[in-house]
C-alpha cells in the first residue's frame, strides 16, 4: 500500500500514540466506550437512546507508561440528522486530527440481537469514506453485550468469552452477509466486544486494551504505517461526483434510446401506411372500424 492515494493516507509520525475515532448509530454507546478506553469520565454519556454528543470531541489518556491513546467522539447517525450533516461532522473530526486516524471504531449496540440494519449503517458509512482501503481501518466494536447476557439470566456477564460467543451466533445470520464479506472477510478485520460497564474490572480492562492494541498494530502492518487523513473525505466527494455524473449520463442515454425508438416506430407506421396506399389505393384501405362490407 505504498501509494498514498492522493494524500488520503500518510505515514504515522508517533508510533507511541494510537488515534481512534468512534462512529456509529445514536445510542450505540460511543461516549461510554470512549470513557472506558480512557478509564475516566471525559465524555458525556447516557444509557438511553437519546443523542448526547452533538459535536466532535477529542480526549487523550494513557494506556500504559509509554503508550497514549487519543479518542475522538463523534455525533451518532440518526434519522433526524441529514447525511450531509453526518458527513460534515466526520470530515471536521478528521481535519482536527492532524496526525491522522489509526482506526475507526464502528460502535454497534449489542444489547439486542444484531440484524440486517447493521448492513445499512455500514453502507452509509462506506459512502462517506469511499476508498479502496477504507475497511482496512474499521474495527467493529459490539457494546452492551453484558446487558444481553444479564437479560438471559447468565452469570459472569463480564466474561469476554461469553460475550464473544453471543455475537458469533448473531454473525451466522445470512442477512449480515454483505457486512461479513466487506469487513470481516475482504479486509480480514477483527471485531471486538467491549462492555463499558466493566471498566472497573481490571482483568477485563487489561484483556480489552491488549486486544485493541494488537488489532491496531495489525492494521499498521497491513497499511505499512499509513493512517487515514481528512483527504479521504475529499476523495469520497470526488468519487461521488463522478458516480453522479455517470448516472446522469446513463439516464440521458436511456432517454435518447427511448426517443429514438419512438421516432423509428412512427416512421415504420408511416412507411407501412404509404405502402398500403400504393398497393391497394385509398378506397381499399381498411376503415378504422377494422372491417369493410358491401351495401
Mind listing the pLDDT tens digit for each residue in 261-275? 788 887 777 666 555
pLDDT at 177 over 80: yes
Cα distance between residue 129 and residue 17, in whole Å: 23
For range 124-136, the mean pLDDT: 70
| pLDDT given for residue 48 in this prediction | 59
Q: Which residues on adjacent β-strands are paired with residue 101?
A: 228
Mind listing the pLDDT tens digit for each residue in 77-120? 765 666 777 777 777 877 777 778 889 999 999 888 888 788 88
| Global pTM value | 0.71
User: How many of the other CB atoms lie within 10 Å of CB of 61?
Assistant: 15
| Spatial CA neighbour of 83 closest among 116, 129, 45 | 129
Cα distance between residue 81 and residue 271, in whole Å: 58
DSSP for residue 1:
-
Q: Are 125 and 86 in contact (CB under 8 A)?
A: no
Residue 193 makes CB contacts below 8 A (sequence gap 6+) with 110, 141, 142, 143, 145, 160, 163, 164, 167
Cα distance between residue 196 and residue 119, in whole Å: 24
Q: Are 103 and 137 in contact (CB under 8 A)?
A: yes
Residue 66 makes CB contacts below 8 A (sequence gap 6+) with 16
What is the grid cell recorded at 196?
463499558
pLDDT at 277 over 70: no
| pLDDT given for residue 236 in this prediction | 41
Distance of CA 125 to the CA centre of its chain: 3
For range 219-229, the mean pLDDT: 81
User: How many of the other CB atoms lie within 10 Å of CB of 117?
Assistant: 11
pLDDT at 247 over 70: no
Strands 57-64 and 67-73: antiparallel
Mind listing the pLDDT tens digit for each residue in 20-75? 999 988 888 999 999 999 999 988 876 655 566 668 888 999 888 788 999 999 88
| pLDDT given for residue 10 in this prediction | 58
pLDDT at 206 over 60: yes
Cα distance between residue 21 and residue 23, in whole Å: 6
User: How many of the other CB atoms lie within 10 Å of CB of 267?
Assistant: 10
* Helix/strand/coil for 77: strand
- pLDDT band for 235, please (50, 70, 90 cuts): very low
Task: Tell me the pLDDT of the chain averaged across its residues.
Answer: 77
Amino acid at each position: 500500500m505504498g501509494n498514498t492515494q492522493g494524500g488520503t493516507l500518510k505515514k504515522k509520525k508517533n508510533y507511541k500514540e494510537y488515534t481512534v475515532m468512534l462512529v456509529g448509530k445514536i445510542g450505540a454507546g460511543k461516549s461510554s466506550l470512549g470513557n472506558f478506553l480512557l478509564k475516566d469520565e471525559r465524555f458525556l454519556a447516557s444509557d438511553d437512546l437519546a443523542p448526547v454528543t452533538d459535536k466532535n470531541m477529542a480526549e487523550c489518556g494513557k494506556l500504559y507508561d509509554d503508550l497514549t491513546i487519543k479518542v475522538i467522539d463523534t455525533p451518532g447517525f440518526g434519522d433526524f440528522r441529514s447525511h450531509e450533516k453526518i458527513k460534515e461532522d466526520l470530515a471536521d473530526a478528521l481535519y482536527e486530527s492532524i496526525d491522522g486516524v489509526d482506526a475507526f471504531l464502528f460502535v454497534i449496540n449489542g444489547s439486542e440481537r444484531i440484524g440486517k440494519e447493521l448492513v445499512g449503517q455500514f453502507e452509509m458509512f462506506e459512502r462517506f469514506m469511499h476508498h479502496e482501503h477504507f475497511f482496512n481501518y474499521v474495527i467493529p466494536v459490539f457494546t452492551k453485550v453484558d446487558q444481553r447476557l444479564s437479560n438471559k439470566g447468565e452469570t459472569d456477564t463480564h466474561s469476554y468469552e461469553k460475550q464473544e460467543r453471543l455475537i458469533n451466533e448473531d454473525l451466522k445470520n445470512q442477512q449480515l452477509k454483505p457486512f461479513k464479506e466487506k469487513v470481516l472477510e475482504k479486509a480480514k478485520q477483527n471485531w471486538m466486544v467491549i462492555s463499558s460497564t466493566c471498566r472497573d474490572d481490571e482483568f477485563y480492562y487489561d484483556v480489552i486494551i491488549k486486544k485493541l492494541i494488537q488489532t491496531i498494530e495489525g492494521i499498521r502492518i497491513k497499511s505499512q504505517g499509513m493512517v487515514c487523513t481528512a483527504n479521504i473525505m475529499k476523495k469520497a466527494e470526488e468519487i461521488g461526483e463522478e458516480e453522479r455524473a455517470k448516472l446522469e449520463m446513463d439516464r440521458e442515454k436511456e432517454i435518447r434510446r427511448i426517443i429514438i425508438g419512438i421516432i423509428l416506430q412512427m416512421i415504420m407506421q408511416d412507411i407501412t401506411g404509404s405502402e398500403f396506399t400504393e398497393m391497394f389505393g385509398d378506397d381499399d384501405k381498411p376503415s378504422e372500424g377494422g372491417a369493410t362490407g358491401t351495401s
